[in-house]
Structure 1
Amino acid sequence: MADNDGFRADWAQKDFYSVLGVKRDAGADEIKKAYRKLARENHPDSNPDDTLKHDRFKEVAEAYDVVGDPDKRTKYDEFRSAYGSGFRPGFGHNAGGTSGYGFGQQGGINLEDLLRDQGGSGGFGDMFGDLFGGGGRRQQRRPRATKGADVESSATISFTDAIDGVTISLRLTSETACETCSGTGGKPGTKPHVCPECEGTGFVTNSVGGAFSMNETCPACGGRQLTYDQPCPTCLGSGRGRSARTIQARIPAGVKDGQRIRLRGKGAPGENGGPAGDLFVTVKVSGHRVFGRKEDNLTLDVPVGFDELALGAEIKVPTLGGAPVTLRVPAGTPDGRTFRVRGKGAPKADGSRGDLLATVKVHVPAQLDAEARAAVEAYRAAMADKPLRANLFSQAGQ
């Protein structure tokens, strides 16, 4: 059990290396690998009805909390090296009167005195304060670093900016650590203690329907592992606040309408030294009066006259942001034919560009002057013996 300062006297008689099944000189990677294996095997979610594995999971988590942290491990090793691994808190010398160090009141060293603040003289009171969370100059266990929340936003850009790429300003409002308490949730100037609800793990295990259980963020400390008797007057103990900021975001060239861009580290700030979250920007692209888009290709409808398709022609068409290009239309080209102009489309991920797809559309004038009307009537007379719909009825079975 932890006291108000977070000290757990039972830690002193535990061999955390044995709990994890590693040697004392094991490297950090080996310790982490052993912890993850044991945590998976004994996790309550995977063993809902096995109380022994639930207890084993807690032992493994407790051991890794100490030897998995370089600072705590150093102090823990120094402690065991100085006094051996066979001491017993609450007992004096052993039955034979030999020099096995006991930590009791009679003839041994009192653990309370050993860990009590030494009036600035250092020693074990300071050395194990960080490890066991005692009073005076001793500090609480370090809360785990937490990545900041991801933030969602959207931006509307022009068709041309989507093709060329653009840097935009985004005004973001997101959760962040409370400025008054720096995210601790406690009133400034007050001291924290290990959360009694979760015993400093940051989570609690709840049964779901009797046959299943799941880990949830501790409701008492909000996952911060520590609690305060006096909550922060600004955030009321939540440790959270709101912040507004403006960032510059680069939208890459060739972005598509509706595409979601991920900007790493531009989300909400992390807690306890954790990294910032990510910013996800959904891009909306405005339409263009002339050009359209199909995947990485740009599209363009080109109005042409009947005579240009019938007789053939060379016509100029625009490109987006570049010089015009010339299309050579062969005689007898049908209405609706699409011509491909390579390399004049949108940028691709590999650095190349798509194509411009120009589709010719016959333009029928709404009014004709006398000369044009006479020419069209002459054409009609010339084609009178060659009706266009001659085969239409026969093919329809009529």
Structure 2
Amino acid sequence: MTEIDYYELLEVDRGADASTIKSAYRKLAMKYHPDKNGGCKDNEAKFKAVNEAYDCLKDPQKRAAYDRFGHAAFQNGGGGGSAHDFAGFSDIFESVFGEFMGGGRGGRAQPRRGADLRYDMEITLEEAFHGKSADITIDVTASCDSCHGTGARPGTHAHTCSTCAGHGKVRAQQGFFVVERACPMCNGSGQVIEDPCRDCRGDGRVERTKTLTVNIPAGVDEGTRVRMSGEGEAGPRGAPPGDLYIFLHVKRHAIFEREGTTLFARAPISFTTAALGGTLAIPGLDGRTHELKIPAGIQSGKQLRHRGAGMPVLQGRGHGDLVIQIDVETPTRLSTRQRELLEMFRETETGDECPEAQGFFARLRNAFAGD
């Protein structure tokens, strides 16, 4: 399952302040609003995704939970505002701020979720264009097969900690304040293992190397994050696992540069082609050759656009554009015949052939006419 990072959706940095996030949201909401896109389903989906991202990041508590847990922070709810959704979020809020505020609600110790993992993958621009499936190998702590993650030797089980009565926390009175901390006997788990598993030594986890298949969708960009749910570190003693996040890095291409879904390239042409016009054939990342018409009299720096030949839209339909910047190349090696022909051409010049040059020298003369 691929989930686009909320910060990427709003096109802001993770450290962006509230005003920056709000400004980015307003810009994108206006761009993708259904009323302005003629009922386009892709833009409607993008509009909903942008609203979902802003709804999370504008709320300091939700943002704090998202920064720590990612999309997993809201897996048990969908923003509908039900009591179940609120309870799920309050559990996450407590796990973020509970220790600072002096502990939780006094219930039994909850199993700690396994840590999330990060994997950096480098891909080519062609692979970003078409998408790909790749196998990766990672070293990770996985649930112990011998004890099924319990930490206790097969045939035995853990007992409720007598010190904290299974709560995982103990309290101490200090003046007017009650300080709550993890139970020193069970290390906050609420359970005591008297006969630990020999393979995992009571932790319920073992080190393991595993191979995973990562599906990279077409249209990904530098820094796109692909989430693999439940493929992170196993939680201690049967707790839920974390997630694995694949961060993508796109190699520099020899010809094309990218900005969003637009591909840019520079193409040198001869001065005769620039003067007379012609056709430019550019091989695209899609495997096809795209022809661009060069108008007569084109100047260096002029850009030609071929619509629909750029990068695919991530999780959408259509492609961006291919933009070619023209560089007119002056010949440096001429044959005798070529030089003769150019001399003949120069003899027939009136100045009207190059109006910009003619205008420049006219302004130059006028500027110094009074000296």
Bin the TM-score by the shorter chain: 0.5 to 0.7
Bigger proportion of residues as helix? 2
Deviations 1:155-194 (A, max 9, x none): 1122111100000001011122334443333444555322
Instruction: State the shift of 1:366 in Å.
Output: 3.7
TM-score of the superposed pair, with normalisation by structure 2: 0.61
- Whichever of the two has the greater Rg, that structure is 1
Tell me, yes or no, if the aligned pair for 1:222 and 1:238 is still in contact at 8 Å.
no
The answer to whether the 8 Å contact 1:44/1:214 transfers is: no
Distance 1:371 1:213 in 2: 99
Q: TM-score, normalised by structure 1?
A: 0.57
Instruction: Name the aligned partner's letter for residue 150 of structure 1.
Output: D
User: Distance in 1 between the 2:202 and 2:252 partners?
Assistant: 48
Question: For 1:365, which of 303, 307, 331 is the aligned residue?
Answer: 331
Partner SS for 1:160: helix
The whole-number CA distance in structure 2 between the counterparts of 1:297 and 1:266 is 34
Name stretches of at least 5 consecutive residues in structure 1 with no aligned partner.
1-28, 49-53, 66-142
Percent identity, aligned pairs only, is: 30
Is 1:44–1:57's contact at 8 Å kept on the other side of the alignment? no
Counting only pairs closer than 5 Å after superposition, residues 247-266 of structure 1 correspond to structure 2 as: 247-266=212-231
Please report how far the alpha carbon of residue 359 of structure 1 lies from its aligned counterpart in structure 2 after TM superposition.
1.3
Equivalent position SS for 1:322:
coil
Task: Describe the SS at the equivalent of 1:246.
Answer: strand
Runs of at least 5 residues in structure 2 that lack an aligned partner in the other structure: 1-82
Q: Does the residue aligned with 1:161 lie in a helix, a strand or coil?
A: helix
Instruction: Give the distance between the partners of 1:317 and 1:223, measured in 2 at CA.
Output: 64
Q: Distance in 1 between matches of 2:330 and 2:293?
A: 21
User: Does structure 2 conserve the Cα–Cα contact (< 8 Å) formed by 1:184 and 1:224?
Assistant: no
Once the two structures are superposed, what CA deviation does each residue of 1:23-74 show, in whole Å capped at 9, x if it has no partner?
xxxxxx79x97xx79x98xx986876xxxxx9x953xx2xxx6xxxxxxxxx
1:145–1:271 contact (8 Å) kept in structure 2? yes
Q: Contact 1:206–1:213 (CA<8 Å) still a contact in 2?
A: yes
How far apart are the structure 1 equivalents of 2:334 and 2:99?
Answer: 81
1:288 pairs with 2:253: yes
1:390 equivalent to 2:355? Answer no
1:142-221 aligned within 5 A:
144=110, 147-204=113-170, 218=183, 220-221=185-186
User: What CA distance in whole angstroms lies between the structure 1 residues aligned with 2:201 and 2:316?
Assistant: 51
- Greater displacement, 188-197 / 251-260: 188-197
Residue type at the aligned position of 1:195: C
Question: Are 1:324 and 2:289 matched, yes or no?
Answer: yes
Counterpart AA for 1:322: G
- Cα distance between partner residues in 2 of 1:384 and 1:192: 99
What letter is aligned with 1:152?
R
What's the counterpart of residue 61 of structure 2? Answer: none
1:188-246 Cα offsets, whole Å, 9 max, x none, are: 45553222443312345689x99988866545434432112344444443333211100
> 1:246 is matched with which residue?
211
Residues 364-385 of structure 1: CA distance to partner in whole angstroms, max 9, x if unpaired? 3342222223333444444486
1:45 touches 1:213 (CA, 8 Å); kept in 2?
A: no
Q: Provide the rounded CA distance (Å) in 1 between the counterparts of 2:320 and 2:161.
A: 59
Change (3 A) 1:334 1:57: closer
Change (3 A) 1:385 1:164: closer
The question of whether the paired residues in 1 share the 8 Å contact of 2:148 and 2:238 is answered with no
Judged with a 3 Å threshold, the aligned counterparts in structure 2 of structure 1 residues 376 and 255 are, in CA distance, closer, same or farther, namely same
3-state SS of 2:301 partner: coil
Q: How does 1:111-130 map to 2 (within 5 A)?
A: none
1-structure distance, mates of 2:100, 2:297: 73
Cα drift, residue 304 of structure 1: 1.0
- Matches of 2:257 and 2:110, distance apart in 1: 51
- Contact 1:183 1:240 (8 Å CA) reproduced: yes
State how far apart, in whole Å, the 2-side matches of 1:242 and 1:210 are. 45
